[in-house]
Amino acid sequence: MAIVETVVVGHVTGFCLLLAWAIYRRGAVDLIAGYDGDLPPEREAELARDAAAVLIVSAAASGLIVVNAWTGAVPRPGALATVAIAAAVGWFLWKWSGRAPDAG
């Protein structure tokens, strides 16, 4: 069963890392759902960094499930992954929802 979990979660992890790379390195912030292109370039770069960070945290948290599948050493990997991803997404939403662009 560990191989199946590794393949399935590996695809999800790879997709998260690919999106993080595309958003951060290629400046493809239009991949971020709900972004309408109204930020100045420096804020857009900050948005790209933050979105990439959330995706990297999600990939790392998903990796806990694979580690547990092979070793059984991670207590409650599903709960830990869920809390880590929810915390990262919550932080991102708190930071970017309803916040007006900085003046100046």
Q: What is the pLDDT of residue 28?
A: 73
In the predicted model, what is the mean pLDDT of residues 7-12?
90
* Mean pLDDT of the chain, nearest integer: 85
Instruction: Quote the tokens at residue 74.
Output: 């991670």
Q: Looking at mean pLDDT, say which of 5-9, 23-27, 37-41, 98-102 comes out highest.
A: 5-9
Position 99 confidence tier, pLDDT thresholds 50, 70, 90: low
* pLDDT single digits (tens) 40-56: 888 888 888 999 999 99
* pLDDT single digits (tens) 75-88: 888 999 999 999 99
Q: What are the residues whose beta carbons fall under 8 Å from the beta carbon of 53, sequence distance 6 or more?
A: 20, 88
Position 103 confidence tier, pLDDT thresholds 50, 70, 90: very low
Enumerate the H helices of the chain as residue ranges: 2-25, 41-71, 77-96
Nearest CA among 47, 32, 53, 55 for reference residue 102: 47
Domain residues of the chain, as ranges?
A: 2-96
